[in-house]
Every structure is written in C-alpha cells, then in structure tokens.
Amino acid sequence: MILVVTDRPDHSRSLKSAVERVAECQIVVTVQPWSLTGPVLGVIVDVVLSRPQSRACLTWLTQQLKSQSPPILFLTESTSSSALREARAYGASACLPLYTEPRAVVAALARLIYPNETVTDLIVRRGAVCTGRLLDDMFRTAAAGAVNMTMVEDALDPVVNAIQEGGLTRWLDVVWEHDDATFQHCLLVAGLTVAFSQSLGMSKADQHRMARDALVHDVGKAQIPLEILNKPGILDTDEMALMRTHAALGYDILKASGNCDPVALAVTRHHHEMLDGSGYPDRLSSDTIADPIRLLTICDICAALIERRSYKVPYASEEAMRILVGMSGKLEYGLVQAFGKAVASQESYLNRAVA
C-alpha cells in the first residue's frame, strides 16, 4: 500500500488515481483521526509544514513507520535549502515541487520502492493481481449460484490499463505465473480481448465492457467438477459433454445475479457458437450471433491454442493464426484478419507462450 498524507483533499484525488495504477492507496487527511490499514510500501506527503496539525500528523507517522522504513516523497512549495532540510527532518527520502504532475510523482516514488522495475512493470503486475483476486472471488461466489457484478465492474481499470501500458507481451509474462488453468485462461482471454478492442479503436467504455465480458465468460466452470476441470489430459466423450454445459451454467449464474448486462449474458452463453451453426449450446448461426460474441470467440479460441497445458504443446503465433484463418465459415473472416493485425503489432507476444 502507498500512503498519501495530505491537507489538500482536492489535489489528493488525482494523486490517488495515479497511485492506484501501480498499488493500493490510502489517503490520510491531516485534520482527521486515522490509522494504517496495512503494510506501507511508500509515502507521498502533500502538506504545508507550517501548519501545526500537519507537523503533528507527520511526527506520529514517522513513529508508526519506524519499523518499516518506507521511502517518503515530499511535495514542497519551496525548493529552498531550508524547506528541504525541514522535509528531511520528517523523514523525506526525496522532494519534488508541489505541482509536479501526479504520474511523475508516482514514477519517482516507484523508483525508490522498486529500483529494478519500471512503472509499466508495476502497472501490468497490479492489473494481473487485481484481476486474479477478482476471479478468485467471482468463482467462489459463482459456485454458490451468483456473482457480484458491481464488484466485476469496479475491477476493470487495472486490466485495461495493463494492456494499454504494457501490451500483451508483459501481460503474458505475468499470466503464466498462475497455476490454475481456468484463471490463466480467463486472464489470457481478457488480455487478448482488451488488446483487440484497443486496436479496433473502441472507446474506453467499450473496452471496459469487453474486458468485463471476457472475465465472466467462463464463470459457469465454477460449477463443473474439479476432476474434470483440472484433468491432466484430454476429456472423454462424457466428460466433454459435461464440460460443455459451462456456457449455459454461466448464463444461469449471471442471470441469477440480478444486475447483469444483456451483452455479458449473451457472450457468456454463446461464446462457443459458430457462424455455420455447429457450435453450442443453442446452435446459433450467422446474423443471430452478435458482434461482441464474434470478437470474444476469436480471442477465446486463440487463448486455448496458445495456453500451456500439461497434455499439449502450446501453438506458436503463426500456427495459431493459421488455425483461426482456417475456421472461415465458423468465424468472421474480417474479424480474424483484424485480430491478426492487432496481435502482430504486439512484439512476439504469441511466441512467449512457447518459451
């Protein structure tokens, strides 16, 4: 957690937004009683030191943090030697001018906390950690029959930011650290879907919607027996039939949640439908399959091709694209072509799967 100590709540909002791209954030207002909510990685101090309550707050804080010794970055009105000495007396590791752009402030603090990592690395890792935490909570509640969609909607910024800032290559580096195959698949589909959405020039709101649909599309697997879900080999006919119920199960779970967007419902139920009517569970075809479903289906199939499983070798980029192109008639050819261009712009991303 990064702590922002402030006597300017109006300015702290922009600092909080910048911090939350890389870490959890707690805002502390000097005139209010407060306590630490967790371990502190670093501190940003945005106060007027001439105010008695600010000095009292910082004195208390330095005592509380003595055992942790996190870096402390001060924003100062003056860069005079006396002002810098006063900041250092309260534990300042570094100082920046008061109106430094918030992202630059966070970047400076990040270099003090993680000297061997870039801000982009932190944004990507934060995105994967937050999204993994969401999936854990979502699948746990889905097993009981419902999902908190407000929680899902509130957790979309990290994955969209991670792909925008770091691209698929860095996202994959973090995704492969997940041992759970279902979580790994959902993270991979989310990354591919957001990258594709961004390449198509979708608005940020539409990118968020597609990220949401990607994260919930396999929620029905929460009700598939673990011995089938995690089987270290190819499923037999009966097991495959049971596995294929996950799309309809997911639809039922989201519908029971009570506040799910109709598009998310449709994507969850129909992401295995094919344009030629050969898919499941409802054998939809052609114009009955909406664009968001078509888009996510391509990303879902690509993820299945490149992901690492104990019983198969992941496909390299060229082969994965050849398979997608070869599914003409089942997948929308124009979208497949656009997808190929989108992922080709991501430096060697698919080949990271087989590294």
By percentage, how much of the chain surpasses pLDDT 90?
Answer: 67
Q: For 192-222, how does the pLDDT look when each residue is reduced to its tens digit (9 = 90+)?
A: 999 999 999 999 999 999 999 999 999 999 9
**pLDDT for 307:** 87
Same domain flag for 138 and 243: yes
**Which residue has 């639809």 as its token pair?**
251
User: Are 172 and 253 contained in the same domain?
Assistant: yes
Q: Ramachandran region of residue 267, left (φ > 0), alpha (ψ -120 to 50) or beta?
A: alpha
CATH at 20 = 3.40.50.2300
Mean of pLDDT over the chain: 91
Mean pLDDT in residue range 67-74: 92
Listed range (176-190, 231-245, 251-265) with the worst mean pLDDT: 176-190
- Do residues 32 and 130 share a domain? no
Considering only CA atoms, which of 114, 298, 116 is closest in space to residue 213?
Answer: 298
Shared domain check, 176 and 251: yes
Strand order across the 2-6 sheet:
25-29, 2-6, 42-46, 72-76, 94-97
Q: How confident is the model at residue 19 (pLDDT cuts 50, 70, 90)?
A: very high
Number of neighbours of residue 113 by Cβ within 10 angstroms:
17
pLDDT band with cut points at 50, 70 and 90 for residue 44: very high
Which is more confident, 159 or 62? 159
Asked whether residue 185 falls in the same domain as residue 201, the answer is yes
The answer on 164 and 198 residing in a single domain is yes
One domain, residues 145 and 104? no
Total domains present in the chain = 2
Q: Given this model, what pLDDT does residue 120 score? A: 94
Domain stops at, among 90, 113, 136 = 113
What mean pLDDT comes out for the span 224-247?
Answer: 94
Query: Average pLDDT in the 111-130 region?
Result: 94
Region 323-343 average pLDDT: 95
What's the confidence (pLDDT) of residue 201?
A: 96
Q: Is the pLDDT of residue 352 over 70?
A: no
- Do residue 64 and residue 125 come from a single domain? no
Instruction: Provide the pLDDT for residue 348.
Output: 54
pTM assigned to the model: 0.86
Between 281 and 49, where is the model more confident? 281
**Range 25-31 average pLDDT:** 85
Residues 83 and 128 in one domain: no
C-alpha distances in Å from residue 105, one per residue of 17, 76, 110, 121, 124 = 12, 12, 9, 17, 18
* Whether residue 67 is found in the same domain as residue 215: no
299-331 pLDDT tens trace: 999 999 998 876 778 898 889 999 999 999 999
Residue ending a domain, among 45, 78, 113, is 113
Confidence of residue 267 (pLDDT cuts 50, 70, 90): very high
Q: Which of 63, 98, 113 is the last residue of a domain?
A: 113
Please indicate, yes or no, whether residues 125 and 218 belong to a single structural domain of this protein: yes
- Domain residue limits at 92: 2-113
* Rounded CA separation 220/228 (Å): 13
Do 20 and 154 belong together in one domain?
Answer: no
Confidence grade of residue 354 (pLDDT, cut at 50, 70, 90): very low
